Amino acid sequence: METSIIEVKSLTIEDYQMLKDSMIQAYASLGGQYWKEESLKN
């Protein structure tokens, strides 16, 4: 059996910017409630 290694880190603003379009599309059917950039700055 192969062991997988998962790295967990805090989301950075750069990560957010790369994921934003995907989040908007993924959450569109849920009323468009995706994390806003301001949420990461707090």
Are 1 and 20 a contacting pair, CB within 8 Å?
no
* Nearest of 7, 14, 21 to residue 40 by alpha carbon: 14
What is the per-residue pLDDT for 4?
A: 94
How wide is the angle at C-alpha 18 spanned by C-alphas 12 and 20, nearest 5°? 95
Length of the chain (residues): 42
Instruction: Report pLDDT for 42.
Output: 67
Confidence class of residue 3 from pLDDT cuts 50, 70 and 90? very high
Mean pLDDT of the chain: 85
pLDDT at 10 over 90: no
Mean pLDDT on 33-39: 80
